[in-house]
Amino acid sequence: MSPTAAHPVQSHVRNAITIDVEDWLSALYPQRPVTDRFVVNTRKVLQALATRQTRGTFFVLGRVAEKAPQIVREIQAAGHEVQSHGYGHELLHHLTPARFRADLEHSKKLLEDITGCPVNGYRAPAFSITTQTLWALDVLAETGFTYDSSVFPLRTRRYGIDGAPYYPHVLRTPGGHELHEFPVATYRLAGRRIPAGGGGYFRLFPYFVLRRGIRQLNVAGHPATIYMHPYEYNPGEISELPYAISWKTRLHQSLGRRWFPRRMDRLLTEFRFGSIRDVIAAVSDWPRHEHKPQPAE
- The CB density around residue 151, as the number of other CB atoms within 10 Å, is 27
- Residue number with the shortest CB distance to Zn ion? 20
Give the nearest distance from C-beta 201 to Zn ion in angstroms: 15
Closest to Zn ion by CB, 63 or 291 = 63
User: Is residue 166 within 8 Å of 157, Cβ to Cβ?
Assistant: no
Residues 6+ apart with CB under 8 A from 112: 118, 119
Taking contact as CB under 5 A, which single stretch among the options 17-25, 44-52, 95-103, 258-266 is the one that binds Zn ion?
Answer: 17-25
**Residues between 109 and 168 with contacts to Zn ion, criterion CB under 5 A:** 125
Closest to Zn ion by CB, 27 or 238 = 27
Size of the site for Zn ion (CB under 5 A): 4
Closest to Zn ion by CB, 153 or 199 = 199
Give the nearest distance from C-beta 25 to Zn ion in angstroms: 12
Give the nearest distance from C-beta 277 to Zn ion in angstroms: 20
Residues 6+ apart with CB under 8 A from 88: 30, 62, 63, 103
Write the burial class of residue 176 (CB in 10 Å: 0-12 exposed, 13-18 middle, 19+ buried).
exposed
Taking contact as CB under 5 A, which single stretch among the options 21-29, 91-99, 132-140, 233-241 is the one that binds Zn ion?
Answer: 21-29
Give the CA radius of gyration of the chain.
18
Closest to Zn ion by CB, 123 or 291 = 123
Give the nearest distance from C-beta 238 to Zn ion in angstroms: 16
Closest to 111 measured CA to CA, from 89, 87, 92, 128: 87
Closest to Zn ion by CB, 20 or 278 = 20
- CA dist 112 → 100, 141, 174 (Å): 18, 17, 28
Closest to Zn ion by CB, 22 or 270 = 22
Give the nearest distance from C-beta 138 to Zn ion in angstroms: 22
Taking contact as CB under 5 A, which single stretch among the options 27-35, 148-156, 183-191, 253-261 is the one that binds Zn ion?
Answer: 27-35
Buried b (16+ CB within 10 A) or exposed e, 139-148: bbbebebebb
User: Is residue 100 within 8 Å of 124, Cβ to Cβ?
Assistant: no
Give the nearest distance from C-beta 3 to Zn ion in angstroms: 31
Taking contact as CB under 5 A, which single stretch among the options 4-12, 22-30, 146-154, 216-224 is the one that binds Zn ion?
Answer: 22-30
Closest to Zn ion by CB, 217 or 238 = 238
Helix locations, the chain, DSSP H: 24-28, 37-51, 62-67, 69-77, 97-115, 135-142, 199-204, 207-219, 237-240, 247-254, 260-270, 276-282
User: Which of 14, 18, 20, 270 touches Zn ion by CB under 5 A?
Assistant: 20
Give the nearest distance from C-beta 175 to Zn ion in angstroms: 26
Residues found near Zn ion in the complex (CB under 5 A) = 20, 22, 27, 125
